[in-house]
Amino acid sequence: MALAVTLPFVPVVIWISQWTSTFTGSTLAPFVDAAPSPAILVGAVNYGLLATGFPEELLFRGLIAGALFRRMTFWKGNLLQAGAFLLLHLLILLVAPNLWPLAIVLPVTLALLAGWLRHTSGSIWPGVILHALPNIAGALAVLNWKG
């Protein structure tokens, strides 16, 4: 289920990665124009899974959503955790104000879906997959594949 929900995000994140990869201090900086190699591919997986997917899902869907889901209705808790997730991701607007529509829609959509996956599965792992795969795809998209 997480994989099916994730796939539509991949092309959007690849498209966004083309814009954000040029920002000074971008998390994609190590991958921009790098030659594909086993080390870079492991780095992309590390970035998507260990640096972003797992810790953000552990915090937002594990800790925050878990506490909210126990104290209120699913929908209210899911909206609140998505709002907290959005606040963190709005920081991109400081360096790329032109991304404002996507910087709102994409994190909120991802957070609501990840919250739903957390609620229905009882685990953060489907959300980790949902979160990690587009980030990995974004890192791979900015590599220099032409050699």
Residue 139 tokens, joined: 């890192």
- Give the tens place of pLDDT for each residue, 19-66: 666 666 778 888 988 999 999 999 999 999 999 999 999 999 999 999
3-state secondary structure of 73: coil
Whether 111 shows a pLDDT value over 80: the answer reads: yes
Residue-averaged pLDDT of the chain: 89
Of 15-24, 68-77, 82-91, 119-128, the least confident: 15-24
Whether 94 shows a pLDDT value over 90: the answer reads: no
Q: What is the mean pLDDT of residues 86-115?
A: 89
Q: Are 112 and 78 in contact (CB under 8 A)?
A: yes
Closest C-alpha among 112, 117, 133 to residue 13: 133
CA–CA dist 86, 63 (Å, integer): 16
**What's the longest Cα–Cα distance across the chain?**
53
Percent of the chain with pLDDT over 90: 61
Predicted structure pTM score:
0.85
CA–CA dist 16, 103 (Å, integer): 10
Q: What is the mean pLDDT of residues 96-114?
A: 89
Residue 87 tokens, joined: 């606040």
Query: Quick one: pLDDT band at residue 98, thresholds 50, 70, 90?
Result: confident
Query: How high is the pLDDT of residue 96?
Result: 78
Q: What is the mean pLDDT of residues 79-90?
A: 96
Whether 2 shows a pLDDT value over 90: the answer reads: no
